[in-house]
């Protein structure tokens, strides 16, 4: 899921191309057509259609899929808040030194305990070319100690030029995924498209793991069937999908 989140963040643009098949160096792809977005790989993918309140998680290994709704995300947040309240009550009864040790361990595993480390965007002043597209290099740094979380290269909307319809779909899909990520206390700075001023087409480092950069864009017409869930895939509930 982390790799898909990185790709979701990467896919954001506006412009003039009707369809686009974007291939990335980590084996993932992003397919965009008429307000529909499919990104991921053969093992796992996310499907989003502009105007829908939910997105669909597809598990190619299990041949299953599920719809993730805003109500589910809010429910997850409420459960985590309740768990955090219980943990804090438990910690309050510990000796100070033991409590400090346990809190540190838990924060490293559960970013939501301290609200997640806030990040900022710093532009390096350098430029690069990725897959033939010009981009501006920037660093995502933690605000508390100024350490580098990840590095990105940002292409302008005009440089990649996707249609306004696809821009809205990509934006909504990325925001939906980022809202899901924020349940765990993680909402990366590269989700702030206005501050970025464009689209990250290369990303290295980061807590989510995995480097990725744009390899190519094919603007041929995309077969609508690519956005269809295979007939032999079974719809699952959230509880089913979360099982190992």
Task: Name the percent of the chain lying above pLDDT 90.
Answer: 23
**Domain boundaries of the chain, sorted by first residue:** 2-72+114-242
Name residues whose C-beta falls within 8 Å of residue 108's C-beta, 6 or more positions apart in sequence: none
Q: How confident is the model at residue 15 (pLDDT cuts 50, 70, 90)?
A: very low
Tell which wins on pLDDT, 170 or 12: 170
pTM of the model: 0.69
Q: What is the mean pLDDT of residues 73-99?
A: 77
Tens digits of residue pLDDT in 142-160: 888 898 888 999 987 778 7
Query: Which top CATH class is 2-72+114-242?
Result: mainly beta
- DSSP letters along 95-118, please? -HHHHHHHHHHHHHH-GGGGT---
Q: Which of 241, 240, 235, 242 lies closest to 65 in space, CA to CA? A: 235
Tokens of 31: 């397919």
Higher pLDDT, 18 or 102: 102
195-212 pLDDT tens trace: 777 778 898 886 555 688
Close Cβ partners of 140 (under 8 Å, ≥ 6 residues apart): 119, 120, 121, 122, 148, 149, 150, 151, 152, 188, 189, 190, 206
Distance CA 74, CA 70 (A): 6
Name the percent of the chain lying above pLDDT 70.
Answer: 68
Residue 232 phi/psi, 5° resolution?
Answer: -90, 5
Residue among 59, 11, 63 nearest 33 (CA): 11
Cβ neighbours of residue 119 closer than 8 Å, sequence gap 6 or more = 140, 141, 142, 143, 149, 188, 189
Average pLDDT over residues 34-61: 87
Angle at CA of residue 53, ends 47 and 58, nearest 5°: 25
pLDDT of residue 217: 86
pLDDT(191) > 80 = no
């Amino acid at each position: 899921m982390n790799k898909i989140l990185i790709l979701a963040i990467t896919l954001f643009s506006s412009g003039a191309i009707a369809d686009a098949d974007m291939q990335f160096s980590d084996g993932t792809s992003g397919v965009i057509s008429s307000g529909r977005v499919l990104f991921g790989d053969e093992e796992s993918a996310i499907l989003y259609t502009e105007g829908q309140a939910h997105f669909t998680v597809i598990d190619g290994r299990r041949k299953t899929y599920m719809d993730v709704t805003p109500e589910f995300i809010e429910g997850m947040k409420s459960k985590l808040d309740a768990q955090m309240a219980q943990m804090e009550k438990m910690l309050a009864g510990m000796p100070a030194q033991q409590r400090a040790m346990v809190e540190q361990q838990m924060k490293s595993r559960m970013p939501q305990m301290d609200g997640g480390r806030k990040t900022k965007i710093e532009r390096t002043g350098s430029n690069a070319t990725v897959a033939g597209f010009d981009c501006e290099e920037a660093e995502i740094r933690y605000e508390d100690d100024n350490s580098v979380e990840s590095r990105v290269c940002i292409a302008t909307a005009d440089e990649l030029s996707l249609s306004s319809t696809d821009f809205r779909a990509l934006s909504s899909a990325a925001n939906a995924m980022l809202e899901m990520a924020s349940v765990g206390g993680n909402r990366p700075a590269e989700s702030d498209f206005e501050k970025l001023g464009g689209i990250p087409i290369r990303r290295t480092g980061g807590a989510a793991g995995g480097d990725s950069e744009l390899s190519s864009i094919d603007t041929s017409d995309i077969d609508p069937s690519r956005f269809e869930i295979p007939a032999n895939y079974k719809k699952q509930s959230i509880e089913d999908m979360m099982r190992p």
